[in-house]
Structure 1
């Protein structure tokens, strides 16, 4: 999965990593959205598995993550990225068979795309951030989760702009260690740092948190799609969560069961952390392919 294509929406260039069969429109399209702090290369294991199963894959770098553009208007809210995923669907000739896969922020982003344009998507897969209002409720009622989410509040302060890039982004190393204990992220971190090392791109990545908690850069005209990111999709949904996730507790994922319908399957996988699709690609990829089949 090394070929690149670039699309544009509202003047923002979105760099996409695409699979070898991307132009074969007989195959259903899969759009994969990464989260923080990550890149499109997080899908390097899932993509060949999907290709072998008869799909074609597009994995965009989220707006603000190099080499995608930093939006001139500063709009890096998740709803804007949901519209970017819809633009990817259009650009690559997706149809009603298309599938969305998202991890972390990418999960919220694909939920938004699925709810906003349900006719485009057949199924949805979410990883590490549960659908519905589970995370928001946990921040209000779950002290353990509030402690795990300390970084979200730290990112609201200007001090984060100095602390996160210090020591060649040592903060990012710490995040990966804490969120996926025991996982060797060496193959991931170099690419993540390349995407965030430029101050403008790092500010954009932090901007997703500032838009969510403080409303910084939020566009009023995106209110509907932004609300959709917190709404469970109507399509069949598979949600996978690592039992050892150091970012979002497994109990938060469990709480989402009461907020979703019968077409949602929630599974907690023992022994895995936040980057579960990288920690045990065989298990996670197999479960996703079973769901899509």
Structure 2
């Protein structure tokens, strides 16, 4: 199932299977990574403007999502971060990484792990740390995931939650089409069980301690209605405390890059332009090497 607005799907070979991606344009490399339970087509508002602005844009699926293989057994931020690094190396880095939700966490991990490969980060609804909760609460949530995301109702449960809860506030005009594609994709053999495995393996506790090692410039968009944060304003302030430029996006839930392109697209383009000309605070030798790539 081709879940991208781009026609040609490429595959990155990894030890447990292949990760799907598309690539368009020419210029410095930008790699976009969606969040859990999403498809690479969630970046449709950004791809065109970035290609037009002179960037080579690769948009990847997560493991077992979209057109990626369902043979994977390892999931989470580190596994995804390693896939990002492998894709950057495959395409010729360094790259600026765009990341949503857990894709943002994986991008941050990749920037800490391979600072030579990452020139900057633009993050949308980033989940860079686990919420504070007891071991009993975590076990209860995992038990709920096992039930909610089981066949035959799991795909409907996730797509409904994605549409009604995670997309509070303004919604993309193509949200209905996108949710239908997510549901159809998740009903393909092996995808729902892989998604459930991801929900049980996922923890951002592996990312938070690595954040001091991230030296690439960061732009982060936080939706003021994002239900994944107990307090979006406080979370935006915390993300700013690690050195990021943060933007609190009004009338937006967990997907500000899709719901509020009027805010996120021009600011992302401007951020990349500042990286490219060296005027962005925190720009460094890796940023200069990225900007020099044609």
Alignment TM class, shorter chain as reference: 0.7 to 0.9
TM-score, normalized by length of structure 2?
Answer: 0.79
Q: Which residue of 2 aligns with 1:139?
A: 132
RMSD of the TM alignment (CA)? 2.7
Alpha-carbon separation, structure 2, partners of 1:290 and 1:207? 38
Partner of residue 104 from structure 1, selected from 96, 101, 106: 101
Q: Which residue of 1 aligns with 2:288?
A: none
Please report how far the alpha carbon of residue 230 of structure 1 lies from its aligned counterpart in structure 2 after TM superposition.
5.4
**Aligned residue runs from structure 1 range 57-76, under 5 A:** 57-72=57-72, 74-76=73-75
2:271 is the counterpart of 1:291: yes
- Equivalent residues of 2:225, 2:232 under 8 A apart: yes
Q: Which residue of 2 aligns with 1:178?
A: 165
Alpha-carbon separation, structure 1, partners of 2:181 and 2:104? 20
Structure 1 residues without counterparts, runs of 5 or longer: 214-224
Aligned length in residues: 260
Alpha-carbon separation, structure 1, partners of 2:140 and 2:108? 20
- Equivalent residues of 1:123, 1:235 under 8 A apart: yes
Please report how far the alpha carbon of residue 241 of structure 1 lies from its aligned counterpart in structure 2 after TM superposition.
0.7
Alpha-carbon separation, structure 2, partners of 1:247 and 1:64? 23
- Equivalent residues of 1:108, 1:230 under 8 A apart: no
Distance verdict in 2 for CA 1:87–1:155, change over 3 Å:
farther
Alpha-carbon separation, structure 1, partners of 2:259 and 2:197? 27
Q: Which residue of 1 aligns with 2:178?
A: 188
Distance verdict in 2 for CA 1:230–1:45, change over 3 Å:
farther
Alpha-carbon separation, structure 2, partners of 1:198 and 1:155? 23
Please report how far the alpha carbon of residue 171 of structure 1 lies from its aligned counterpart in structure 2 after TM superposition.
3.6
Alpha-carbon separation, structure 2, partners of 1:157 and 1:244? 23
Please report how far the alpha carbon of residue 68 of structure 1 lies from its aligned counterpart in structure 2 after TM superposition.
0.4
TM-score, normalized by length of structure 1?
Answer: 0.79
Structure 2 residues without counterparts, runs of 5 or longer: 1-5, 274-294
Q: Which residue of 2 aligns with 1:221?
A: none
Distance verdict in 2 for CA 1:174–1:211, change over 3 Å:
closer
2:245 is the counterpart of 1:273: no
- Equivalent residues of 1:130, 1:256 under 8 A apart: no
- Equivalent residues of 1:31, 1:58 under 8 A apart: yes
**Aligned residue runs from structure 1 range 198-213, under 5 A:** 198=188, 200-212=190-202
Q: Which residue of 1 aligns with 2:13?
A: 8
Q: Which residue of 1 aligns with 2:233?
A: 251
Runs of 4+ more than 4 Å apart: 154-157
Name the SS of the counterpart of 2:38 in structure 1. Answer: coil
Deviates more, 1:180-189 or 1:46-55: 180-189
Please report how far the alpha carbon of residue 199 of structure 1 lies from its aligned counterpart in structure 2 after TM superposition.
5.2
Write out per-residue CA displacement over residues 165-193 of structure 1, whole angstroms, 9 at most, x where no aligned residue: 41861442233211222525212112212
Alpha-carbon separation, structure 2, partners of 1:90 and 1:270? 36
Write out per-residue CA displacement over residues 207-229 of structure 1, whole angstroms, 9 at most, x where no aligned residue: 2221135xxxxxxxxxxx98346
Please report how far the alpha carbon of residue 113 of structure 1 lies from its aligned counterpart in structure 2 after TM superposition.
1.1
Partner of residue 159 from structure 1, selected from 147, 152, 158: 147
Alpha-carbon separation, structure 1, partners of 2:269 and 2:240? 25
